[in-house]
Amino acid sequence: MRSLPLPVTLAARLLPVAVLACAGWAWSTGPMSDSADQDHAKASPQSSQSPGPSDSVAAKTYAKPPAPCDTIADKTVNSLVPGAKTAGKELAATDASVRRGCSWSALKGYDYRWLDVSFEVKSSDAAAKQAFKDGSDTAGATAQDIGDEARLSTNVTTKDKQQTREAVVTVRRANTLVTITYNGSDFESKGAPSADTVRKGATMAARDAVAALEASGKGSPSSSSSSSTS
């Protein structure tokens, strides 16, 4: 019966190691880190030059990330992460003017769910296109009708006989990269939600996030001047 109290031995499993490792990698040394941007700048022979007229036109469709915890609708959070506070918890970032993220997690009965969203604003649409392309070696399928281009991947991991299934949607919208991670585990059966469940959940959240990003850019001078380049 799911009304039984959660065994103490399950407490250590509430935050799957794979989830935390991926999140830490992404924000410290991975594609969401400052060092990744610095390496890209060093590799570009024009990184120290002043932008020309054409650069200024296409540079900033979105000047900064939106407030991330406001980008996923309450009804989406309630559906995907039952029991979670809809306010979410903002992820720590070294430079909030460039990247911001938010997460939601909850255990209801024996079912654990985790959802997070992150935004990374690049210097131009071209830089975001290149960053999206650089990540294309990650296994995944093209996701339709989300942003300018998007891909979706799923995987399942097993630790101490406990499965965790995860879906990741990466979207490029103009000069911004949006990443949604959604995963879950069932501590009673030691199984995980179906691949279809996590795929649909991550896609739903991605649509919310991109819509919020687009709304945040409406009316800004940079948005109207570069919309034709996205």
pLDDT under 70: residue ranges of the chain: 1-59, 137-139, 219-230
What pLDDT is stored for residue 137 in this prediction?
64
What pLDDT is stored for residue 143 in this prediction?
87
What pLDDT is stored for residue 39 in this prediction?
46
SS3 track for the chain: CCCCCCCHHHHHHCCCHHHHHHHHHHHHCCCCCHHHHHHHHHHCCCCCCCCCHHHHHHCCCCCCCCCHHHCCCHHHHHHHCCCCCCCCEECCCCCCCCEEEEEEEEEECCEEEEEEEEEEECCCHHHHHHHHHHHHHCCCEECCCCCCEEEEEEEEEEECCEEEEEEEEEEEECCEEEEEEEEEEECCCCECCCHHHHHHHHHHHHHHHHHHHHHHHCCCHHHHHHHHHC
What pLDDT is stored for residue 123 in this prediction?
95
What pLDDT is stored for residue 139 in this prediction?
61
What pLDDT is stored for residue 40 in this prediction?
44
**Domains annotated on the chain, with CATH:** 60-229 (3.40.1000)
